[in-house]
A and B are shown apart, each in its own frame.
Chain A
Amino acid sequence: MSVLEREASVGMTPEHIRSQRLPLVVNIGIGVLALVLSAVLVLSTGIGNWVLVVVLGVVLYLVGLLAAATRVEGRRSARNRLWRSLVYAACVLAVLPLASVVWTLVSKGAARFDGDFFLTSMNNIGARDENGGAYHAIVGTLEQVGIAALLAIPLGVLGAIYLVEYGRGKFALTVRFFVDVMTGIPSIVAGLFVLAFWVLIVSPWFNNGVPRFSGFAAALALTVLMLPTIVRSTEEMLRLVPGPLREGAYALGVPQWKTILRVVLPTALPGIITGIMLAIARAAGETAPVLLVAGGAPFINFDPFLGNQSSLALFVYQQAGDASKYAQPRAWTAALTLVALVLILTIAAKLLARRNRLSR
């Protein structure tokens, strides 16, 4: 008798390699029974609606399945079933809000998804006007996020390269620590920093002593927010590149900088791009810094360096809080546009990263 047979009553002889399987009919039966039971329970007592019926039904189904499977298949298989069901349930639970968000955006945003919305601004649009659009906000978002990406991507990637490939000792540790601290900065604080530093102190130098809001100031605040995300994600990706790959390049007499540029970075590129896209998506959805340092504006302003600018997120915030009955549809459509914009950027980046990969 083996230890497993003695202590855990696990059969170790050839008779034990077959086991009964719970028939699919029984499985479905338990599901139906659980739903009916929960419907009766919930609706007869009147403690909730169909959502509670489903939730309770799932719980009852899991309990019933565990009991039935334990009888028919034995404890090990039953536990396996239970955990697998829990994993599936968790997956469904995680996807539900996402699907719900997308559905809400599409259904409510479709109403104003028209030419007016994408070709006009809110200039001279009063509370009784049902048209009006987010052209100015789209321009603002693209310019601000574009400038922020232009600043943050090279800085962040180079910083990560320093931390992984060159940084040794106290200085690197300090840099990494402050990057971690920066990750937790609330966006409003980043906005305040840029307001105090750029708008109030630096911008008067360019504007005859008068402080001015600008899209560029918003871009600076977004840069502050994007930088730590990019540094940390790129750093993790670079660390995943195996050491022997670098040594393989060194052994060919390739200098370190060229090894990084031609071997390490291409290997880590898909992951780095994912990190960058996450940072961009986060920046595109920021409202507070834009409100603080770009001020928002109803009119089209192409110049990011001079004067107020709006952005999609700020547009959503302002329209959602507007008393006009035409404002809310505009807010939904702007939110839909923002999500679509981020989605398109992400897909484009993924395609770009894949183009360089070799086909298997």
Chain B
Amino acid sequence: MAKRIEASNVSSYYGSFKAIDNVSMTVEPKTITALIGPSGCGKSTFLRSINRMHEVLPNARIEGRLTIDDQNIYDSDVDVTAVRRMIGMVFQRPNPFPTMSIFDNVVAGLRLNGVKRKSTLEESAEKSLRAANLWDEVKDRLGRPGAGLSGGQQQRLCIARTIAVEPQVVLMDEPCSALDPISTLAIEDLMFKLKDRFTIIIVTHNMQQAARVSDKTGFFSIDKTGDPGRLIEYDDTQKIFSNPSEKKTEDYITGRFG
């Protein structure tokens, strides 16, 4: 089910601007990988390259190889929507569909991909909402608009929506940055639960969070503004936070950066 992701020499561009340079890393199935680093260092760009969301922006392009179980997702005969079905994504800001109810939001991925049977949709909605720790809060008001929930609930709704399509990899782009500590904890618990089924990659600015949830950590950095971001160090989380091999990593995680 969960897949191995291998990036080799990935460089991403916005027009002529090179956002990340030569990133290579391997993400094992059923692990949580955290990407940390200062703002503007290309963590999110790299994350968005993994499910081909990078190319949604005009003039954005990518070089290098990104494989999922040895399939290069940037081959010309690859169907973008199939890649994204396999690699789900949770965004920084919760983005429930404003015209849809809570129920419709959760099953949007299934319904818009052609699932019509009502019992399947209901079953899947309950399963996903339970997995996202949201079921008890919303089970009595599934018909109400998703945009009416609180920020933390909306984010969990978006996670439920993502796992409802049963992807093999879940990418999370700072999923807790707009949330209070309790909602953050709920989402971190959720990640541990999801680890049994999915490969998870999370971008975070919160180093305690990276240390708490992840098995491996990648540290991105830039030398100065305008330079492309690079992957400085990628290792077991334990090692990164106790005994990093690079001086830059140590400076960053101990707060002596810049």
Partner-B contacts on A (CB < 8 A): 168, 242, 244-255, 258-259, 262-263, 266-267, 269, 356-358, 360
Contact = CB atoms under 8 A, between A and B. Distances in A.
Contacts of A244: 91, 93, 95
B95 A247 contact: yes
A251 B112 contact: no
B97 A250 contact: no
Interface stretch (B29-37, B158-166, B187-195): B158-166
Interface stretch (B80-88, B175-183, B201-209, B226-234): B80-88
13 contacts: A168-B58, A247-B95, A248-B96, A248-B158, A251-B53, A251-B162, A267-B97, A267-B98, A267-B99, A357-B99, A358-B100, A360-B145, A360-B148
B53 A247 contact: yes
Given A244-B91, A247-B56, A267-B97, A252 B145 contact: no
Contact of A253 (B58, B85, B101): B85
A113 to B, nearest CB: 41
A85 B97 CA distance: 41
Contacts of B162: 251-252
Given A244-B91, A247-B53, A358-B144, A254 B99 contact: no
Given A253-B113, A254-B81, A262-B112, A248 B165 contact: no
Interface string B22-54: 000000000000000000000000000001010
Contacts of A357: 99
Interface in B88-140: 88-89, 91, 93, 95-101, 108-109, 112-113
A324 B43 CA distance: 80
B102 to A, nearest CB: 10
A258 B89 CA distance: 18
Residue from B108, B148, B167 whose CB has the most chain A CB atoms within 10 Å: B108
B82 A358 contact: no
A252 B143 CA distance: 21
B204 to A, nearest CB: 18
Given A262-B112, A358-B144, A360-B148, A250 B95 contact: no
Nearest to A259: B112
A259 to B, nearest CB: 8
A242 B92 CA distance: 14
Nearest to A256: B81
Given A244-B93, A360-B148, A250 B113 contact: no
Nearest to B110: A252
A252 B165 CA distance: 7
A360 B148 CA distance: 7
A245 B97 contact: yes
Contacts of A262: 108, 112
B156 to A, nearest CB: 14
Residue from A251, A253, A266, A269 whose CB has the most chain B CB atoms within 10 Å: A251
A316 B54 CA distance: 58
A250 B109 contact: no
Nearest to A358: B145
A10 to B, nearest CB: 36
B81 A248 contact: no
Nearest to B99: A266
A263 B112 CA distance: 10
B93 to A, nearest CB: 6
B56 A250 contact: yes
A360 B102 CA distance: 12
A267 to B, nearest CB: 5
A147 B56 CA distance: 38
A251 B89 contact: yes
B148 to A, nearest CB: 6
A263 B89 CA distance: 17
Given A244-B91, A247-B56, A252 B109 contact: yes
B99 A251 contact: no
Given A247-B56, A360-B144, A360-B148, 20 more contacts: A244-B95, A245-B95, A248-B91, A250-B53, A250-B56, A251-B53, A251-B84, A251-B88, A251-B89, A251-B91, A252-B85, A252-B161, A252-B162, A258-B112, A263-B108, A266-B99, A267-B98, A357-B99, A358-B101, A358-B144
A165 B79 CA distance: 19
A252 B112 contact: yes
A279 to B, nearest CB: 23
Given A248-B158, A267-B98, A360-B148, A253 B56 contact: no
A216 B249 CA distance: 73
Contacts of A245: 95, 97-98
Contact of A252 (B56, B58, B84, B93): B84
Nearest to B167: A253
Return the 10 tightest CB-CB contacts between A and B, nearest first. A253-B85, A252-B109, A251-B89, A266-B99, A358-B145, A248-B95, A244-B95, A254-B112, A253-B84, A255-B81
B109 A253 contact: yes
Residue from B58, B86, B88, B112 whose CB has the most chain A CB atoms within 10 Å: B112
Contact of A250 (B58, B84, B148): B84
Residue from A248, A255, A262 whose CB has the most chain B CB atoms within 10 Å: A248
A252 B144 contact: no
Given A168-B58, A262-B112, A358-B144, A248 B97 contact: yes
Contact of B108 (A252, A255, A267): A252
Nearest to A270: B99
Nearest to B171: A251
A360 B144 CA distance: 7
B112 A249 contact: yes
Contact of A242 (B95, B100, B161): B95
